[in-house]
Amino acid sequence: MSHDTNLTRRAALIMAATLASWGTLSRAAESTAAPKEVRIGFQKGSLNLVLLKLRGTLEQRWPATKVHWIEFPAGPQLLEALAVGSVDFGATGDSPPVFAQAAGKALVYVGAEPPKPDASAILVKPDSPLRSLADLKGRKIALQRGSSAHFLTVRAVEKASLAWNDISPVYLAPADARAAFERGSVDAWAIWDPYYAAAEVAGRTRVLVTSRGLTNNNTVYLASPAFASQPGAVRTLFDALTEAEAWSRNNRKETAQQVADYAGLDLATVHRFLERRPASPVGPITPQIAAEQQRVADAFFKLQLIPRPIRVADIVWQPTTAQLAQTSR
């Protein structure tokens, strides 16, 4: 068994233990009054949120709540909306909250899913001369600035013993990055699922490297400070998301069809995306994930890609028994 596999399993066990602790801690919050309104930001790759939207589970639990679902092309755009008060809750990869915190945006880490180290990659054309990470020197790499693909690229450059200025990052949103990649305007493309799966299934790419061994590719959940002050609402969301995730694993064909129909993706792409997605229950931020986020932040600051050093722990929400007890009064 590989070291990476052991780390992934250990992270999943820690997440399960934390979920159990959360359940014990928050039973008092189950009867919490639902919010009057909640605005949830999501991306095509946010499977738990997509399924929660499609199944209407949250609306069933909160029949009097106005639930608004807002789709974003990537995490940085989602967190910009959260920072200006247009979104209350959402999920991103590891890097967007680091950039948001460094820019002084008001947000709180409230939860996470277990790592997904196989769900992103750096892609090249099948006939590309690039065969190793060292071959990235002097090359143009398309990526979304401030996204998980940004950190993957940072780690790939580091592993190749290159300097950041040895490459030419081309900052583009996923759709524009794919177009640039396909027309040959860039030499490589750093991207995550389902965009990665779609390009792979189309057959016009070759994987130079995946994130396995480079990053854990964590999915984290962020909230506005105001929404994070409602522990019962956060608990309900986590329960509903975890229920949707469990349903997806027990109903794979139906899940694939629903996601394909909603996202406009072919079934082969969705099945590829689902194949490399581990079980992903949602629970509070663990010390391990907080430490991993700090490593992301430190790496970006070292390269002066964020303007100041940050302390991730400063915005990690830690619900207490007293907070949760207050929600049921």
* Tally of domains within the chain: 2
- What Rg do the C-alpha atoms of the chain give, in angstroms? 19
Mean pLDDT of the chain: 90
Q: Is-cis flag, bond preceding 194, omega within 30?
A: yes
- On the CB side of 138, CA atoms within 13 Å amount to 3
User: What share of the chain in percent tops pLDDT 90?
Assistant: 85
- Bridge-based pairing state of the strands 140-143 and 120-124: unpaired
Claim to verify: residue 234 and residue 306 sit in the same structural domain: yes
Residue 154 is part of which domain span? 120-210
Claim to verify: residue 268 and residue 241 sit in the same structural domain: yes
Claim to verify: residue 229 and residue 171 sit in the same structural domain: no
User: What share of the chain in percent tops pLDDT 70?
Assistant: 87
Claim to verify: residue 127 and residue 269 sit in the same structural domain: no
Q: How confident is the model at residue 319, as a pLDDT?
A: 74
Q: What is the pLDDT of residues 250-305, one digit of tens each?
A: 999 999 999 999 999 999 999 999 999 999 999 999 999 999 999 999 999 999 99
Q: How confident is the model at residue 33, as a pLDDT?
A: 67
**Residue 3 clears pLDDT 60, i.e. is over it:** no
CATH number where 84 lies:
3.40.190.10
Residue 214 CB contacts under 8 Å (≥ 6 apart), including other chains? 152, 155, 156, 159
Q: Which of 9-13, 219-223, 282-286, 318-322 has the lowest mean pLDDT?
A: 9-13
Claim to verify: residue 134 and residue 72 sit in the same structural domain: no
> Is 219:307 a contact under the CB 8 Å cutoff?
no
Claim to verify: residue 9 and residue 110 sit in the same structural domain: yes
pLDDT band at 32; cut points 50, 70, 90 = low
**Residue 71 clears pLDDT 60, i.e. is over it:** yes
Q: CA 38, CA 253: separation in Å to the nearest integer?
A: 30
Claim to verify: residue 16 and residue 141 sit in the same structural domain: no
Q: What is the pLDDT of residues 163-205, one digit of tens each?
A: 999 999 999 999 999 999 999 999 999 999 999 999 999 998 9
- Bridge-based pairing state of the strands 220-223 and 108-112: antiparallel
